Amino acid sequence: MIKIKINSIIFIITLIIGLSNGFFLKNLYPPTETANRLIGTIDSKPLFLTPYIESGQLDKGRRLSEVVGLSGLDLKSYSGFLTVNKTYDSNMFFWFFPALTEKTDVPVLLWLQGGPGGSSLFGLFVENGPIKVSANGTPYMRDSTWNREFAVLYIDNPVGTDVAENLYEALRQFFTLYYEYKGNPFFLTGESYAGKYVPAIGYKIHCMGKEAEKSGINLQGLAIGDGFSDPKHMVDYGDYLYQVGLIDEIQRAHFKEEQRLAIKYIDDGQMMKAAQIFDRLLDGDFDKKSYFYNATGLNFYYNILYDRQPDDFGYYSKFLASAKTRESIHVGNLHFGDDSIRVEEHLLNDMMASVSPWIEKLLDGNYRLMFYSGQLDIIVAAPLTENFLRHLKWKRSNEYRMAKRLIYRVSPNDPSVAGYVRQAGNLYQVIIRNAGHILPYDQPKVALDMITRFVKNESF
């Protein structure tokens, strides 16, 4: 069994891992004026579902977890907390959306956010979930929602010292409580730093074998968007930034020098030093202003066309802070807060570690894996992902390196090119045009088409 340790911080209640003002991939889940302030108080307490699961009161637990009272939304969903470690009273918050078709014999998708420490509710409200929120905090339905045909589960993570162990326990309880989905095709999805979480839980499920199947976890594939999976082979920012005109040759030389040093530290196992170089070169979480910022004047590296984050990235925080919403989703008077910097601090030793060995095992285990990139991303640019994929060692490595890249259109007669696809057996590499790091936000219809083709195993 491959040993790759991924540490994280323990939270007593994990809803507080949401909006952050500084972490590994900073400014993605920005703080707003309502991030730490409740709008009204309620009498109800957070809903912990594990006692109902353990006592066999499944129907009662399901009934209590149903989300009701969200005005203007004709939408069935369930939410609550699952206790994943009783010793530390560690709990994970989830929000589950059955397919809009109301069918239960459908694939189930798990979405995990990156960060590390970003809340998966960002993905729900900003990227691919059924709910969007307006500037005044009013919710409305998203057209290109991933639960159109699939059931989608959003879980906030990490929580304890073993990310995969905690997630596996949460999934085991989830499939026990919502038993009609047991054995359905199951897919792990996520973006950014979830490029480590998704392979971690995928490999955990793979290793559990028959026990996972008995729990109803029928893993079929993994889809990772702009994932930071193998830092050693994903730090060549100098050439990329130079080629797109954001830095000159002198600045590129500085990037290259720092990159070489970071790779040396990774090879020597000095991950903390490698992470510090990354921070001062590009991230700027601990050094205040990164070299990237000083060279380009840009403080937003998720889309090459933006110089600041879109305002609507933070609209949902007001919605979550309201008493009505908190009562509906069973979180009581807990804050949706900006504590993610603590997650990064506890993960610094793991930040620059690779999960390639897990990915290679999953590929050789015949699970389908899709790595998708936004053409306009900077922080995990498409060429960086391609370099990492070319260094993977698995049974079809040579086939991938020689695979022909195909043009991808949403429909055959569509004059617009959606992107490009390269496939070798069960490995898919997809690049989507006119999209950045937050790909489903930039290209929602294309992202929905892409994930639908992948889950249904349809050709691009």
Where in the sequence numbering do the catalytic residues fall?
A: 192, 377, 437
State the Cα–Cα distance between residues 214 and 182, nearest whole angstrom: 9
**Helix%, strand%, coil% for the chain, nearest 5:** 40, 15, 45
Among all chains, which residue has been given the structure tokens 């110089």?
A: 307
Strand ranges of the sheet holding 108-112, from the earlier edge strand across to the other edge: 78-85, 90-97, 151-155, 108-112, 185-191, 218-225, 368-374, 427-432, 419-424, 406-408
- In a 10 Å sphere around its CB, with 0-12 CB exposed, 13-18 middle and 19+ buried, how is residue 103 labelled? exposed
State the Cα–Cα distance between residues 96 and 94, nearest whole angstrom: 6
State the Cα–Cα distance between residues 85 and 160, nearest whole angstrom: 8
For 137, phi and psi rounded to 5 degrees? 90, 10
Token output for 208: 């559990």
- In a 10 Å sphere around its CB, with 0-12 CB exposed, 13-18 middle and 19+ buried, how is residue 397 labelled? middle
Half-sphere exposure of 322 (CA within 13 A, CB side): 15
User: β-strand 427-432 against 368-374: which pairing, if any?
Assistant: parallel
Tell me the residue ranges of DSSP E strands in 102-229: 108-112, 131-133, 139-141, 151-155, 185-191, 218-225
State the Cα–Cα distance between residues 425 and 326, nearest whole angstrom: 45
> Is-cis flag, bond preceding 199, omega within 30?
no
